[in-house]
Structure 1
Amino acid sequence: MLKALIFDMDGTLVHSDPIHLRAFAEVLGPQGVAIDDEIYHSTIIGRTNPAIFASLLPHLGVEDHEAFADEKEAAFRRLALDLEPLAGLMEVLDWAKAQGIKIALVTNAPRLNADHMLDVLGLASYFPVQITIDQVERGKPDPLPYLTALERLGVRADEAIAFEDSPSGMKAAKGAGIYSFGVLTGLSAGEMMKAGADATLADFHDAGLWNLLKQKSAA
């Protein structure tokens, strides 16, 4: 029986990738690192900041990477002021709430970003359980963030559904044993299925999603 829905944040609750790209470009441009769609998708999407900055600024040390990461996240929060939930998301959240289905957030973003984005989107009250990168020893693609969410929700993996938009996030969700939808805000259905998605959706109006939600909630 379905007892919980677990959502990634960036690219899943909201199509925020273009804003992240702008923030990375703003911070890294003066360092001679050009950020375009290709670099964003190959090097940035779904990865943790330490891994991203180690790849893009390999000549610098960990302290510099951390400083650039903080600068980039501050730039993102400054730019991310006009966000809208992905189409159909509110219907899913309201339906889950009415059904008594638990809801959680699992993100590689820092707590400051999660608080900012949920506040701008008006969604904070929907996510009593929030797992951010600050709370776990290992971020996605490790399954630990999802395993932590399952523990805090008090549900088994087979009682939950996850939503992810990146290969690393999908690997984490599937590594925790959760049925997972790939959200197609940045990658193709083929790319998300290759990453392990059980199914894909363009937005939360997807008929296949609703059929599964109703089927599992009635089980």
Structure 2
Amino acid sequence: MANIIITGTSRGIGFELAKLFAKEGHKVLALSRNTETLDSLKIVNIKTIPFDITKKDDLEKVGAYLDEHWETVDVLINNAGRLLNKPFLEIEPQEFEAVYKVNVFGVANLTKLVVPKMSEKGHVVTISSMGGVQGSMKFPGLSAYSSSKGAVITLTELWAEEFKETGPSFNVLALGAVQTEMLEEAFPGYQAPITAFEMANYIKDFALKGHQMFNGKLLQVSNSTP
């Protein structure tokens, strides 16, 4: 059974992922600012830690937990994300920066913390968006969000190159529309063809097996626009 770290587990895809991995017997470290939704389920092999990916103290807290309880990490899923839907000329500098602190700097800092604890067979999966894929359809109001999701695509390619001799593997999934609270915030009233549970099932399988076939790759996981 694997040791799995997942960020953004309070709702949506991350919440479903934590439950799915735990159901299969894996150990899950669920990191989210709000842990109440998972805590209420009282699932034995899910450990929750209240976690803000932008805070140094919270990163150190996770590092201390891993040092004490886990010899190795098998899978890291960078799922946490921050959305801003606002016309570009109306965005305050601190708002743009806040998106990048979660979606780019936070992802980089947590990955830097966890990678030394992973073996060559480990797998880092970062969740991006079709909006971050060059040449894909773009939508007004999402300049901060989509550009940040483009940044982690490039980061994944760079990490795979830097660690290709020692591992772990790095891949990024650019998701299309999934019926989550975040989608409703970005596209009010839009009904996605894929549920959070269905997408979580796909990501779970990819996280456990995808590194056998892919490294440094962007996979577009979408059957719709947006």
- TM-score, normalised to structure 1, is 0.37
- Indicate the structure with greater helix content: 1
Scaled by the length of structure 2, the TM-score of the pair is 0.36
